[in-house]
């Protein structure tokens, strides 16, 4: 790893690349409800089925998190990003011609979900690799610039739907997603720094002075090692004969057990499942997963909610979504600066964002039939969403060292997927049972509130504590990982 590239130079090109990728591939997910409202209505897809499509997509995306650690160790994040971008383009193009629930599941849930699950680890690891001290600033720039998309895309999609219907709109969005390859090209992997050779040269003189003595010592060591190896091999052979003589019937059993143990150890080591022994890490993962299910469902179904509760037309819904996106941008710009002055942790601000979303949903479910109230809710929810977007991506990197980040993020994604498919459709069932989104909004708020409660009892939501890290050894482990990468 090139030390001079950290926090400067090409690191800022990484921010641009990640931003381009997000702007290109996220519009279909961000404007899910606006794009598919008419098609779902014509196909007779219920709220439960809509929740199933939405959360199955998230489950497939997150299910790839378990292999993200080994995948990022084997391939460079540029290669992974290329493959993920092409997969998403293929998925959006195929979704344009999906006119049934099974086809929507295959195209939107499976293909697009796989592409998103491949891209996310690549962009996250790229940012966290190139940035150390300025990681918060870089993440803030990335998510803020990404937030520009939802301001313009709802208005653009409204125009596209008016002129090209759902099929043509999705094909145009597939063309926009193809520009993500430009962003993937900017994700240049680290190159080994030449100055390491200069460090080695400082010891060349001393090595040359001691070379003769080392050669003589090496010859003696070779002879001694040869004698020791013969003795050790004889001892090992004798031990094996004695073992086979005394317990010949258990030899195969011992070999099988040792193979199984080594295989399990390899799995645990590659996926870093030892992280699950940390209770606070488990609490972080469970809290984020439950709240992510709630927030993702609400943000994706806002058009359906506004059509039902406020009786808004598609153009008005697009306007409300753009206002919410503008408030989202404001939150992404202002809250990180406020957090830097107050010294609040990422977890505290994440909890505040959840409370803001709960407040907005409560107001919407009570007075959602008034347009002015809807605009006010859009501002509250937008600010909360912007705050959450910045700090949710920093909670895991702030708690675990860089060397364990791919595995930690992968475990989080898997948990997100499991809870998304098991809890997410319940929100749709609540709507279909009550025939109203009011009950679904209250249930969504209950899920978000459960994260606040879990973190409170786990000691993770403590305003005065700013340095809570995994096993309290994050800094030392990160320094060791950095030195290993440099070598």
pLDDT in tens, 158-193: 999 999 999 999 999 999 999 999 999 998 876 654
As a whole number of angstroms, the distance between CA 299 and CA 382 comes to 10
* Confidence tier at 150 by pLDDT (50, 70, 90): confident
Residue 90: per-residue pLDDT: 96
pLDDT over threshold 60, residue 154: yes
The answer to whether residue 337 scores a pLDDT higher than 50 is yes
The larger pLDDT score, comparing residue 317 to residue 263, is at 317
pLDDT of residue 383: 93
Query: What token pair was written down for 362?
Result: 């409560």
| Ranges 251-265, 307-321, 429-443: which has the least confidence | 251-265
Long-range contacts of 67-72 (CB under 8 A, 24+ apart): 67/410, 68/117, 68/120, 68/121, 68/406, 68/409, 68/410, 68/413, 69/270, 69/271, 69/272, 69/406, 69/407, 69/410, 70/270, 70/271, 71/121, 72/121, 72/122, 72/125, 72/406
Nearest Cα neighbor of 194 from 3, 9, 14, 13 is: 3
Integer Cα distance of 465 and 157 in angstroms? 44
Per-residue pLDDT at 299 exceeds 80:
yes
The listed range with the strongest mean pLDDT (6-15, 241-250, 386-395, 427-436) is 427-436
Residues 6 or more apart whose Cβ sits within 8 Å of residue 469: 398, 399, 400, 475
| Confidence (pLDDT) at 181 | 94
Give the rounded percent of residues in the chain with a pLDDT score beyond 90.
31
In this predicted structure, what is the pLDDT of residue 469? 66
Q: Using CA atoms, how far apart are residues 102 and 166, in angstroms rounded to an integer?
A: 18
Whether 34 contacts 314, CB under 8 Å: yes
Q: Which residue has the tokens 């059509």?
A: 307
The pLDDT of residue 291: 92
> Is 58:192 a contact under the CB 8 Å cutoff?
no
Mean pLDDT of the chain: 79
Q: Where does the pLDDT of residue 290 fall: very low under 50, low under 70, confident under 90, or very high at 90 and above?
A: very high
Spatial neighbors of 202 by CB under 8 A, at least 6 apart, are none
Query: Does the structure show a pLDDT above 60 at 478?
Result: no
pLDDT at 468 over 80: no
End-to-end CA distance of the chain: 8
pLDDT, position 394: 82
Give the span between the Cα atoms of 361 and 118, in whole angstroms: 32
- With 80 as the cut, is the pLDDT of residue 249 above it? no
Distance of CA 476 to the CA centre of its chain: 24
């Amino acid at each position: 790893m090139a030390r001079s590239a950290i926090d400067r130079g090409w690191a800022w090109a990484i921010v641009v690349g990640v931003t381009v990728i997000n702007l290109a591939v996220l519009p279909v997910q961000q404007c899910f409800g606006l794009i598919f409202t008419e098609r779902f209505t014509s196909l007779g897809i219920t709220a439960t089925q809509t929740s199933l499509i939405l959360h199955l997509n998230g489950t497939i995306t997150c299910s790839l998190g378990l292999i993200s650690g080994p995948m990022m160790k084997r391939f460079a994040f540029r290669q992974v990003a290329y493959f993920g971008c092409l997969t998403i383009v293929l998925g959006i193009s195929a979704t344009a011609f999906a006119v049934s629930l099974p086809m929507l599941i295959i195209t939107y849930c499976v293909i697009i979900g796989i592409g998103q699950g491949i891209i996310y680890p690549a962009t996250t690891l790229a940012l966290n690799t190139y940035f150390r001290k300025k990681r918060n600033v870089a993440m803030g720039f990335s998510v803020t610039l990404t937030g520009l998309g939802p301001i313009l895309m709802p208005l653009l999609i409204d125009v596209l739907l008016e002129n090209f219907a759902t099929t043509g709109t999705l094909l145009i969005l597939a063309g926009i997603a193809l520009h993500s390859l430009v962003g993937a090209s900017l994700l240049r992997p680290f190159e080994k720094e030449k100055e390491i050779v200069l460090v080695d040269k400082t010891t060349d003189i001393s090595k040359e002075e001691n070379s003769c003595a080392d050669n003589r010592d090496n010859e003696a060591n070779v002879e001694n090692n040869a004698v020791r190896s013969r003795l050790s091999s004889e001892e090992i052979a004798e031990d094996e004969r004695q073992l086979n003589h005394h317990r010949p019937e258990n030899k195969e059993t011992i070999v099988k057990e040792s193979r199984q143990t080594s295989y399990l150890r390899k799995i645990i080591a590659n996926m870093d499942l030892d992280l699950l022994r940390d209770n606070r890490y488990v609490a972080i993962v469970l809290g984020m997963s439950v709240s992510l299910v709630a927030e993702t469902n609400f943000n994706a179904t806002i058009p359906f909610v506004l059509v039902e509760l406020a009786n808004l037309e598609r153009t008005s819904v697009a306007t409300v979504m753009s206002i919410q996106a503008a408030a989202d941008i404001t939150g992404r710009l202002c809250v990180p600066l406020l957090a830097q002055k107050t010294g609040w942790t990422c977890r505290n601000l994440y909890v505040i964002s959840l409370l803001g979303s709960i407040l907005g949903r409560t107001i919407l479910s009570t007075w959602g039939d008034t347009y002015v109230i809807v605009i006010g809710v859009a501002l509250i929810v937008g600010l909360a969403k912007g705050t959450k977007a910045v700090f949710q991506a920093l909670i895991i990197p702030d708690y675990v060292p860089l060397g364990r980040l791919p595995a930690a993020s992968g475990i989080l994604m898997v948990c997100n997927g499991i809870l998304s498919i098991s809890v997410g459709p319940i929100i749709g069932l609540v709507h279909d049972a009550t025939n109203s989104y009011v009950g679904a909004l209250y249930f969504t708020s209950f899920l978000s509130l459960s994260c606040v409660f879990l973190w409170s009892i786990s000691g993770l939501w403590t305003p005065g504590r700013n340095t809570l890290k995994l096993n309290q050894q994050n800094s030392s482990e990160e320094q060791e990982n950095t030195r290993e990468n440099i070598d």
